[in-house]
């Protein structure tokens, strides 16, 4: 997502391929065009708002500044929009909280303020980088419900990155599962949860604590450990941990295969991951 916003240091990054947003290639944007793209057309909710927000300015000042950089608008009108945004993200006592500094808000309130800042110029694309990681369970649910409501009300497209498959199910229409830096399966949320086809996706879903709540049921785990990204194996990166791996899996990276319903899977053994075959193996 940092690549989508072109936030990676250009002197230490290698850029290739295309990133198309709104019909335009972000990799070819000029610096001036890129400044317009960030904030006005695409915005990002960072994982840790306390580090993303400026500690020496109030939250309200930061939102007002963002609006006025992109739009010709008076400070009073920008402040009124900031107040409206705080009400939209359901921050209590919004006027008082606009005059607060980041450290004066709780973790949940800071995350809501970060969302308000990202929405300041009504972007079409919202990038959410694990926005619920540092929050307790009850606040996580509130933030997820808030994002869903904002998506419906404002017509946003949201890319939501998370390690929590449960959170992904709550907010996503489509889910892309990644392993070792590559997408290994992509499908609608319903299809992926009900009929996973990649062995890694199957392992993720089986390792949920929800499935281990039955008394004396042992929690399923994926054996082994993730690979070193600087020294990936020659073939499928998941092969050393995969219960279906064969010699062919260790020779060359598998291509993404197109399946029914717009699903894609990067695996040479999908002939053995069909739901009926998994049920037979379990028996």
Under CATH, to which class is 10-172 assigned? alpha beta
CB distance 159 to 1 below 8 Å? yes
pLDDT at 214: 57
Given this model, what pLDDT does residue 73 score?
94
pLDDT digits (tens, 9 = 90+) for 104-143: 999 889 989 999 999 999 999 999 998 887 677 788 888 8
User: Helix 75-88 crosses helix 59-70 at what angle (to 10 degrees)?
Assistant: 120
Q: Map out the domains of the chain as residue ranges.
A: 10-172, 176-282
Q: What per-residue confidence (pLDDT) applies to 281?
A: 52
pTM reported for the whole predicted model: 0.84
pLDDT of residue 283: 47
For the segment 48-82, what is each residue's pLDDT rounded down to a tens digit?
A: 888 889 999 999 999 999 999 999 999 999 999 99
Question: What parts of the chain have a pLDDT lower than 70?
Answer: 134, 209-217, 276-283
Q: Are 114 and 60 in contact (CB under 8 A)?
A: no
Instruction: Return the sign of the alpha-carbon dihedral for residues 35, 39, 44, 45.
Output: positive
Dihedral, 165, 170, 175, 180 alpha carbons, nearest 10: -30
The pLDDT of residue 210: 63
């Amino acid at each position: 997502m940092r690549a989508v916003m072109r936030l990676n240091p250009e002197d230490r990054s290698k850029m290739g391929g295309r990133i198309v947003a709104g019909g335009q290639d972000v990799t070819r944007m000029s610096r001036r065009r890129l400044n317009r793209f960030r904030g006005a057309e695409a915005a990002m909710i960072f994982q840790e708002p306390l580090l993303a927000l400026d500690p020496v300015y109030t939250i309200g000042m930061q939102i007002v500044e963002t609006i006025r950089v992109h739009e010709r608008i008076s400070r009073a009108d920008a402040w009124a929009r900031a107040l409206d945004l705080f009400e939209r993200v359901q921050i209590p006592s919004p006027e008082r909280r606009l005059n607060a500094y980041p450290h004066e808000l709780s973790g949940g309130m800071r995350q809501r303020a970060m969302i308000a800042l990202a929405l300041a110029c009504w972007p079409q694309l919202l990038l959410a980088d694990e926005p619920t990681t540092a929050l307790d369970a009850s606040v996580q649910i509130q933030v997820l419900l808030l994002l869903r409501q904002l998506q419906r009300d404002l017509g946003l497209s949201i890319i939501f990155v998370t390690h929590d498959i449960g959170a992904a199910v709550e907010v996503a229409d489509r889910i892309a599962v990644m392993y070792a830096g590559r997408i290994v399966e992509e499908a609608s949320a319903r299809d992926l949860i009900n009929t996973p086809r990649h062995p890694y996706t199957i392992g993720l879903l089986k390792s949920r604590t929800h499935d281990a709540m039955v008394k004396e049921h042992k929690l399923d785990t994926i054996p082994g450990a993730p690979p070193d990204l600087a020294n990936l194996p020659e073939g499928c990166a998941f092969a050393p941990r995969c219960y279906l791996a064969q010699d062919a899996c260790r020779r060359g990276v598998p291509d993404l295969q197109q399946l029914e319903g717009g699903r894609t899977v990067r695996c040479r053994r999908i002939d053995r991951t069909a739901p009926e075959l998994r049920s037979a193996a379990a028996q």
